[in-house]
Amino acid sequence: MPRPRKWRKVCCLPESNRFGPLNVPLSGDQFIIMTVDEYETIRLIDLQDYTQEQCANQMKIARTTVQGIYNEARKKVAESLVNGKVLRIEGGEYKLCDGLEKSCGCGGCNRHRYEESLMEGNRES
């Protein structure tokens, strides 16, 4: 029996989930799908200047797993930029941070919890 997949810890979802050229017709072959965990590795390594080891600790996965996820994410960003395709961020094997951990340090957990409370407030209205 194969080993169960390990969920990747993600601090927050992207504020926008679609990026790319504005002049492309929205047909199925013009989209590239980036998973939320791929987005998180790009955010942590390229924006937050984490090492792959720090990123792995943050996401609660192995460094070699981070390396593979990061390489796939970079290929998708490059394909979007070079070939003028729309990049959509969705899906993946992740769990959102519950906001109770002090180790995140990114502020994303608090932002995520704030956004969730706003959405819950809108549902009650």
- pLDDT digit string, tens, across residues 21-76: 888 776 667 889 999 999 999 999 999 999 999 999 999 999 999 999 999 999 99
Q: Which letter does DSSP use for residue 28 in this model?
A: G
- Other Cβ atoms less than 10 A from the Cβ of 34: the count is 23
Q: Where are the domains of the chain?
A: 8-21+28-124
Whether the model clears a pTM of 0.85, i.e. scores above it, the answer is no
- Distant-in-sequence, close-in-space partners of 46: CB < 8 Å, separation ≥ 6: none
Question: How far apart are alpha carbons 97 and 78 in whole angstroms?
Answer: 28
Of 116, 120, 105, the closest CA to residue 11 belongs to: 105
pLDDT at res. 5: 75
Question: How far apart are alpha carbons 5 and 64 in whole angstroms?
Answer: 14
